Amino acid sequence: MKLSFWILRFLILVLVVGNIKLSAQNPVIQTYFTADPAPMVYNGTVYLYTSHDEDSTVNNFFTMYDWLCYSSTDMVNWTDHGTVASLKSFTWHEKSNGAWAPQCIERNGKFYLYVPIHGEGISVLVSDSPTGPFTDPIGKRLIDSGHVWQDIDPTVFVDDNGQTYLYWGNPSLWYVKLNKDMVSYDRTIGQNGIVSVPMTAESFGSKEGRDGKPGTTYTEGPWFYKRNNLYYMIYAANGIPEHIAYSTAPTAEGPWTYKGFIMERAPHLAFTNHSGIIDFKGNSYFFYHDQALSKGEGFKRSVSVEQFKYNADGTIQLIKPTKEGVTKSIANLDPFKKVEAETIAWSEGLKTAGDSKTCVYVTKIENGDYLNVRSVDFGKGAKSFEASVASASAAGKIEIRLDNSDGELLGSIDVGNTGSWLNWASVKGKMKKIKGVHDICLVFKGGKGELFNFDWWQVK
């Protein structure tokens, strides 16, 4: 009797742990290590710009060469747009590392990506599209403050009167007023155009500094925005390890009033942090990064997101980092149109790559790898599945399963050798008729080694 009881408890535990894994949404990107999230809402889509921690760390330090972009219309499935800019986008410096926290903003149909190059200050890139390509419009750094090692983490906001502000800084906070061209700034204010924000306890809380003298909680990673006539400055606080705190102000230039922590340090968070906040389709979302995907490696971080609600007075309650993240999709995915394979809610074992012809696709597919797509609307029913694949190996097959990698098998499609890893071919197969909205999982099966590349899929 006791043995049966303990067996039952064990089975329940297995089911609970399994369900936690299957319902996991954080971190939202699993194919690469991403950090410093900078979400931008544009034309009904969230574009998420991130820095990129390489899989292999050099000299046990941040190893970061480029900036990535992802997008979502439902906040649960994220489409990979690949590298949108890199250190190679600038020809005037010799840095081989240091592509740190970016932010992108749209102005008059152009997209401006503000990026710090560690040790080279803050620069700007411009594009006609939110997904690039971005190019250097001025051929030099934008911010020329004389303390380039502290010029990191730019955050930018266009106020209601059309004035654009660019804030940045570690360990202090500075701002400039950008001109209408977005690639220069008004040099008639402050010190040659740069205004130093007073770092007081009233504005940013109090904390003893490393030198033992009184200081503020502000550390780095500012995120500046306005909501309901109140200006917010969100920032990494309290030194290492970093929390997230915030201050508010009645104007874009202050005075700032410290409001407290938004997110406290948790075991799976990295020793650094960087946040971004947006309102999207009637909901509020808080982005941050952790080290859950790398299982504790602070130089290999991953972006996560939580949904939250403001208090009636505009203050923000303490937000708890979770594994579940955003649990509810705010839109359904249409599988009757081509769905990019790199549109993913959760994946295991996969990478993405790209070329000028195919753009981004899923690669490094091996036996047992899979990807989940959430809230797929099959309408009145779908009976077949089609995919674009390429392979120079014996390949394998794609299993279409309901909900998760162990879910009901809806169909299976064989993938053969197409002649090369970039020689794309369409493969089709029948699937069990399915109606309504479901999560689906595409499971990849085959022999040893890489099986095939995967570009898009759709049902009929």
Digit-coded pLDDT (tens) for 356-397:
777 999 999 999 999 999 999 999 999 999 999 999 999 999
Q: Which residue did the predictor score with more confidence, 356 or 104?
A: 104
pLDDT tens digits along 288-312? 999 999 999 999 999 999 999 999 9
Q: Which residue has the tokens 């992108």?
A: 104
Q: Which residue did the predictor score with more confidence, 215 or 80?
A: 80
Q: Tell me the residue length of the chain.
A: 460
pLDDT tens digits along 210-224? 777 789 999 999 999
Rounded Cα distance, 124 and 140, in Å: 9
Strand partners, 244: 236, 263
Strand partners, 308: 284
Q: Which residue has the tokens 């990494």?
A: 236
Q: Is the pTM of this model over 0.75?
A: yes
Q: How does residue 209 score in pLDDT terms, banded at 50, 70 and 90?
A: confident
Asked if the bond preceding 241 is cis, omega within 30° of 0, the reply is yes
Percentage above 90 pLDDT, the chain: 90
What's the pLDDT score for residue 15?
A: 38
Given 2.60.120.260, 3.30.70.580, 2.40.10.480, 1.10.1670.10, which CATH number is that of 339-459?
A: 2.60.120.260
* Number of Cβ within a 10 Å radius of residue 424: 19
pLDDT tens digits along 394-434? 999 999 999 999 999 999 999 999 999 999 999 999 999 99
Contact 383, 433 (CB under 8 A): yes
Q: How does residue 144 score in pLDDT terms, banded at 50, 70 and 90?
A: confident
> Exposed, middle or buried, 296 (CB in 10 Å: 0-12/13-18/19+)?
exposed
Q: Which of 200, 309, 311, 319 is nearest to 257 (CA)?
A: 200
What's the pLDDT score for residue 112?
A: 98
3-state SS record for 215-227: ECCEEEEEEEEEE
Q: How does residue 6 score in pLDDT terms, banded at 50, 70 and 90?
A: very low
The catalytically annotated residue of 55, 128, 202, 414 is 202
Q: Which residue has the tokens 């392979």?
A: 391
Strand partners, 446: 396
181 residue type, one letter: D
What's the pLDDT score for residue 23?
A: 54
Angle at 63 (CA atoms; ends 57, 69), nearest 5 degrees: 120
Contact 273, 221 (CB under 8 A): yes
Residue 458 has pLDDT above 80, yes or no: yes
Q: Which residue has the tokens 């909901």?
A: 283
Q: Chain-wide mean pLDDT for the chain?
A: 94
Rounded Cα distance, 128 and 134, in Å: 8
**Cβ within 8 Å of residue 303, ≥6 positions away:** 27, 28, 29, 34, 35, 37, 48, 50, 287, 288, 289
Four-residue CA torsion sign, 373, 439, 402, 324: positive
CATH topology (fold) of 32-308: Tachylectin-2; Chain A (2.115.10)
Q: What is the DSSP string of 301-320?
A: -EEEEEEE-B-TTS-BPPPP
What's the pLDDT score for residue 12?
A: 37
pLDDT tens digits along 145-173? 888 999 999 999 999 999 999 999 999 99
3-state SS record for 389-453: EEECCCCEEEEEEECCCCCCEEEEEEECCCCEEEEEEEEEEEEEEECCEEEEEEEEEECCCCCCE
Cα torsion through 127, 131, 133, 135, rounded to 10: 40
* Number of Cβ within a 10 Å radius of residue 248: 17
Residue 2 has pLDDT above 50, yes or no: no
What's the pLDDT score for residue 355?
A: 84
Domain ranges across the chain: 32-308, 339-459
Is 202 in the active site?
Answer: yes
